[in-house]
Amino acid sequence: MSTSLDLAPDDWVKSFHSKGNSSCLEWAPAYIVTSGLVPIRDSKTPDGPALTLSPHAWAHFVRHAAAARA
């Protein structure tokens, strides 16, 4: 689901795997507590849309990304 979220810049956390790479994913862990959804966005376009994922979809994404790095 693509949506516009009203989150402060400090709510977003960049992946520590980015290491200065311009292709970075950010997520807002505090939003999960209040909504039950995991928001993610492209760090290059912070004013752009964010995707919201279910916790199950987020876990699947993280497992897939980790497997691709291995």
Predicted structure pTM score: 0.73
pLDDT of residue 2: 45
Q: In the prediction, which pLDDT does 20 show?
A: 64
Give per-10-residue mean pLDDT for the chain (70 aa): 67 75 80 85 87 93 84
Q: Residue 12 is part of which domain span?
A: 2-69
State which amino acid sits at residue 57. Answer: A
Residue in this structure with the two tokens 């977003």, named with its chain if needed: 12
Number of domain units in the chain: 1
Per-residue pLDDT at 56 = 94
Task: Write down the pLDDT at residue 43.
Answer: 86
